[in-house]
Chains A and B, each alone.
Chain A
Amino acid sequence: MLDKVIKQKLVVIGNGMAGIRTVEALLERAPDLYDITVFGSEPYGNYNRILLSPVLAGEKTVDDIMLNTVDWYEDNNITLRKGETISMIDRRTCEVVTEAGERVPYDRLLIATGSNPIMLPLPGKDLPGVIGFRDIYDVDRMIKASTDYRNAVVIGGGLLGLEAANGLMKRGMNVTVVHLLDTLMERQLDPVAGGLLRKSLEERGMVFKMPAQTQAILGEDRVTGVRFGDGTELPADLVVMAVGIRPNFELAKKAGLYCERGIVVSDTMQTYDGRIYAVGECVQHRRQTYGLVAPLFDQAKVCANHLAMKGFATYDGSVTSTKLKVTGIDLFSAGDFAPGPDKEEIVLQDANRGVYKRIILKDKKIVGAVLYGDTIDGPWYFQHLRDGTDVSHMRERLVFGAANLGDGGVSGQNSVAAMSDETEICGCNGVCKGAIVKAISEKKLFTLDDVRAHTKASSSCGSCTGLVEQVLAFTLGGDYSAAPKVKPLCKCTDHSHDDVRRVIVEQQLKTIPAVMRFMEWKTLNGCHSCRPALNYYLLATWPGEYRDDQQSRFINERVHANIQKDGTYSVVPRMWGGVTTPSELRAIADVAEKFNIPTVKVTGGQRIDLLGVKKEDLPAVWADLNDAGMVSGHAYAKGLRTVKTCVGSEWCRFGTQDSTGLGVKLEKFMWGSWTPAKVKLGVSGCPRNCAEATCKDVGVVCVDSGYEIHFAGAAGLHIKGTEFLTKVETEDECLEVIVALTQLYREEGWYLERMYKWCDRVGLEQIRKRVVDDVANRKALFARFAYSQQFAQTDPWAERASHGVDRNEFAPLAELELA
């Protein structure tokens, strides 16, 4: 029925990391703005180029490193033309031209053509067996060569060269690295760190020839060797050129766009032609070109912003940091570490541990850092570097890292704990700790994969994986476990709460052992986490049928009192709606004196708490309270606890309705019901809200014209105001809605999941639809609650005090008088 809107056409040249990241960011901001077509020379979806090194080393497969599969393009209505190269941009007609001669029009164009490996102009450079290290094709050829041949020479001792050499070595080749200078990775490392790196690579079997200049590549039909400036030769069946990259801007240049060392762009990632944007390694911004993904992703964000016509972001350039991805070698480098007259250095060298750290300061700020052997503090230094923090106050201990500054503990985990929220964890994607923690807690993430999916952290080079895992562990506490897909109910099973609840109903499972057997529990009788959960699920699913298993109840619910730290108990009699009488108070006073109860205290839920009762006295205490007409207050229960009320229209000059009466009515109807976690209600007689109803699980605020029902508040470990559910006119409707809501929560909540968390998970609208809008459903929920109440509303105290239930529980088995 919708008219098909003619969308603007966005064409992307280059199906690589920067281009597709821009498209992703664009889709997040403006999913329907463009018809998007992506051209890519390579015959794949978008993959993680960075991880070609682990693929070469045999630690990952090509499938592992796919970032956007062909399906992804389809799902997002993007036309992917893989394996097709653009040979010309016609700016006059706003078209791109494919190699096959097809013309494709654009309204906006994004150039993200990356760069090409520099192939030194040496004699023999075109021989078979001489390759660069840039794409899957190159890696395939290297892997093939490693099975057919023995000797490899890698020209270039930078990051790329060393990763190539390491991979080939892992594949069983003899590898010699030829480097022009006498320091490896001289752009990232100082001579000391370079020396340490060389030593540990040599220990692994890598051979170095440096400094050395390559003069010619030898061979007839295929490379057979390499000759150097000093006349020496090395045999070689494979030569990998890794001497650098050259931004790939020929296409742009031919189209008349202004280029220097790359396509020149403004702070908004626009080229000199306002319709044409460019991002990635092909770009030159403020005289800088980049060869690492972190800055490219920053560019992508800005570019997407402008493509989405939300033109406010600007790109101001990036500071970069580097890690070497050779398994087992920890190396980190950031900023500027060349010595200079105005710079100071702090150096720590521990030859035994193989640790070297050099921090370079200028004007009391960190300007560079080189870490070798112990890189855990890399992100921390990098953070201070980028923030320009004045570090003079921590100078003495700076080199020992975050953990030693008193703002953290000692282990890796603690150093994550000590990091500020702004500390960047994933350099590639610019994800800071705070964002990860937030995603973990808000989106309920439990695995590394989840975090990758939601935050992109650790989804590029993967060097930060360890850190991200630490953040996970630290945020989730004991809940973090390896990598389950859904969160299992507990360690005894792989099944989730939802699975268990569903299967109980579907399979008509009616005992804990039956559930455990059917769902193949991994432990004999479960544990203290799952048994109470299963007990609740069965109780809530089969009211009247399931026999409550006392041994699967937490002690408080088993003995109907609250255990205290010294092993005594506290006893809270019910006071309906917080209303009591002189005779009740007298009985409480008598009981307290008779049993020498040390503390009598008023609770936050308008009840009286008798603390310090000995376990064996409990039945007698209850008997006396029962005699005075009082019953258990369920202050210990995952169930209805208290209904807190104000005095309302009965007494208060502002009262609009009988809040006390309504509270009592709710409590009398709902007491005794078990719920996933405790439920507390509040009823206030007017919006002044003296019963603090708007931070309860369910709260009623009376107004002249009726009753506002709120729910999903919390005022414990977390503080959260309630959500408004609906407004009703009569007390009966009010009761019906609240009971139906509670029943829905009983049927769907996970054990120990408070109502506000359940609401977060399921969604307010979903709940409102089923409890408020769908009247038939509301009535059905109400009926189910009412049904289950007939089995729930027996006073557990009376059962135990006068009817001998669980008598054994309260008496010792024996008393011994030992000699």
Chain B
Amino acid sequence: MTQWIEIGALADIPRLGSRVVRTPGGNIAVFRTESDEVFALDDRCPHKGGPLSQGIVHNKRVTCPLHNFVIELASGQAVAPDEGCTHTHPAKVENGIVWLSVRQAAAVS
């Protein structure tokens, strides 16, 4: 069963930007696209662990600030030619409030 946790207001995340949610298992980056969709991913680039939350967001992708890997927000997959994958977590917006469901598997890593 998915357990949803309220993490804050959508308005507190910049459009085409991201905020971080701290968890004991590491940071989770919550992204907001231009059309107000939200996505949550572990804040670790599959390349060398760069903080994806600090990257530039474009469409439904983010570019890692360290070496420019481009990561698909929906799947966590690196865009070819790069390879790798970041864990994603379910996230949703309801009435301007962002909800997150932390996947345990990811939180462990």
Which A residues form the contact surface with B (CB < 8 A)? 523-528, 531-532, 550-555, 558-559, 563, 565-567, 808, 812-818
Closest 7 CB pairs of A and B: A813-B19, A528-B63, A814-B7, A815-B22, A551-B16, A555-B54, A567-B51
A-B contact pairs, 5 of them (CB 8 A): A531-B58, A532-B56, A558-B54, A813-B21, A814-B22
In whole angstroms, what is the CA distance A325 to B16 when docked?
52
Query: Are the CB atoms of B14 and A817 closer together than 8 Å?
Result: no
Q: A808-B12, A808-B19 are in contact. Are A565 and B48 (CB under 8 A)?
A: yes
Q: Which among B12, B20, B30, B58 is the interface contact of A523 at CB below 8 angstroms? A: B58
Task: Quote the shortest CB–CB distance from A97 to chain B (angstroms).
Answer: 65
For A806, the closest partner residue in chain B by CB is: B14
Query: Are the CB atoms of A554 and B65 closer together than 8 Å?
Result: yes
Contacts of B19 in A (CB 8 A): 808, 812-813
Q: A551-B17, A813-B13, A814-B21 are in contact. Are A563 and B57 (CB under 8 A)?
A: no
Task: Quote the shortest CB–CB distance from B82 to chain A (angstroms).
Answer: 11
Q: Name the residue in B22, B27, B49, B68 with the highest tally of chain A Cβ atoms < 10 Å from its Cβ.
A: B22
Task: Quote the shortest CB–CB distance from A195 to chain B (angstroms).
Answer: 40
Which B residues form the contact surface with A (CB < 8 A)? 5, 7-8, 12-17, 19-25, 27, 30, 34, 48-51, 54-59, 61, 63, 65-66, 68, 70, 98, 100, 102, 107
In whole angstroms, what is the CA distance A488 to B38 when docked?
31
For A817, the closest partner residue in chain B by CB is: B24
Contacts of A527 in B (CB 8 A): 56, 58, 61, 63, 70
Q: A551-B57, A816-B5 are in contact. Are A528 and B68 (CB under 8 A)?
A: yes
Task: Kindly list 4 other residue pairs between chains A and B, CB separation below 8 angstroms, not including A525-B58, A551-B57, A813-B98.
Answer: A528-B56, A808-B19, A813-B13, A815-B22
Task: Quote the shortest CB–CB distance from B6 to chain A (angstroms).
Answer: 8
Contacts of A555 in B (CB 8 A): 54-56, 65
Query: Are the CB atoms of B7 and A818 closer together than 8 Å?
Result: no
Q: Name the residue in A526, A527, A551, A817 with the highest tally of chain B Cβ atoms < 10 Å from its Cβ.
A: A551
Task: Quote the shortest CB–CB distance from B56 to chain A (angstroms).
Answer: 4
Contacts of A552 in B (CB 8 A): 16, 56
Q: Which among B5, B22, B56, B59 is the interface contact of A551 at CB below 8 angstroms? A: B56
Contacts of A523 in B (CB 8 A): 58-59
In whole angstroms, what is the CA distance A524 to B102 when docked?
29
In whole angstroms, what is the CA distance A816 to B4 when docked?
12
Q: Which among A563, A815, A816, A818 is the interface contact of B54 at CB below 8 angstroms? A: A563
Contacts of A567 in B (CB 8 A): 49-51, 54
Q: A524-B59, A808-B19 are in contact. Are A818 and B68 (CB under 8 A)?
A: no
Task: Quote the shortest CB–CB distance from A154 to chain B (angstroms).
Answer: 45
In whole angstroms, what is the CA distance A569 to B59 when docked?
27
Contacts of B22 in A (CB 8 A): 812, 814-816
In whole angstroms, what is the CA distance A298 to B17 when docked?
60
Contacts of B107 in A (CB 8 A): 818
Task: Quote the shortest CB–CB distance from B14 to chain A (angstroms).
Answer: 6
Query: Are the CB atoms of A563 and B7 closer together than 8 Å?
Result: no
Task: Quote the shortest CB–CB distance from B39 to chain A (angstroms).
Answer: 13
Task: Quote the shortest CB–CB distance from A360 to chain B (angstroms).
Answer: 40
Q: Which among A524, A532, A553, A813 is the interface contact of B30 at CB below 8 angstroms? A: A813
Q: Which among A524, A566, A812 is the interface contact of B20 at CB below 8 angstroms? A: A812
Contacts of B58 in A (CB 8 A): 523-528, 531
Contacts of B23 in A (CB 8 A): 815-816, 818
For A492, the closest partner residue in chain B by CB is: B58
In whole angstroms, what is the CA distance A817 to B21 when docked?
11
Q: Which among B21, B34, B50 is the interface contact of A816 at CB below 8 angstroms? A: B21
Query: Are the CB atoms of A818 and B102 closer together than 8 Å?
Result: yes
In whole angstroms, what is the CA distance A447 to B37 when docked?
39
Contacts of B7 in A (CB 8 A): 813-814, 816
Contacts of B61 in A (CB 8 A): 527
For B52, the closest partner residue in chain A by CB is: A567
In whole angstroms, what is the CA distance A553 to B63 when docked?
12
Query: Are the CB atoms of B14 and A550 closer together than 8 Å?
Result: yes
In whole angstroms, what is the CA distance A459 to B66 when docked?
41
Query: Are the CB atoms of B30 and A818 closer together than 8 Å?
Result: no
Contacts of A553 in B (CB 8 A): 56
In whole angstroms, what is the CA distance A818 to B24 when docked?
7
Query: Are the CB atoms of B56 and A563 closer together than 8 Å?
Result: no
Q: A815-B22, A818-B107 are in contact. Are A554 and B56 (CB under 8 A)?
A: yes
Q: Name the residue in B13, B23, B55, B98 with the highest tally of chain A Cβ atoms < 10 Å from its Cβ.
A: B23
Contacts of B16 in A (CB 8 A): 525, 551-552
For B59, the closest partner residue in chain A by CB is: A524
Task: Quote the shortest CB–CB distance from A760 to chain B (angstroms).
Answer: 25
Task: Quote the shortest CB–CB distance from B59 to chain A (angstroms).
Answer: 4
For A814, the closest partner residue in chain B by CB is: B7
Task: Quote the shortest CB–CB distance from A619 to chain B (angstroms).
Answer: 15
In whole angstroms, what is the CA distance A5 to B100 when docked?
85
For A478, the closest partner residue in chain B by CB is: B81
Task: Quote the shortest CB–CB distance from B16 to chain A (angstroms).
Answer: 4
Query: Are the CB atoms of A524 and B55 closer together than 8 Å?
Result: no
In whole angstroms, what is the CA distance A526 to B13 when docked?
20
Task: Quote the shortest CB–CB distance from B86 to chain A (angstroms).
Answer: 14
Task: Quote the shortest CB–CB distance from B55 to chain A (angstroms).
Answer: 7
Q: A563-B65, A814-B7 are in contact. Are A528 and B55 (CB under 8 A)?
A: yes
For B48, the closest partner residue in chain A by CB is: A565
Contacts of A559 in B (CB 8 A): 54
Query: Are the CB atoms of B102 and A816 closer together than 8 Å?
Result: yes
Query: Are the CB atoms of B20 and A813 closer together than 8 Å?
Result: yes
Contacts of A818 in B (CB 8 A): 23-25, 102, 107
In whole angstroms, what is the CA distance A36 to B17 when docked?
66
In whole angstroms, what is the CA distance A201 to B79 when docked?
42
Query: Are the CB atoms of B14 and A551 closer together than 8 Å?
Result: yes
Q: A531-B58, A555-B54 are in contact. Are A812 and B48 (CB under 8 A)?
A: no
In whole angstroms, what is the CA distance A524 to B35 when docked?
11
In whole angstroms, what is the CA distance A443 to B99 when docked?
53
Query: Are the CB atoms of B59 and A815 closer together than 8 Å?
Result: no
In whole angstroms, what is the CA distance A528 to B62 when docked?
8
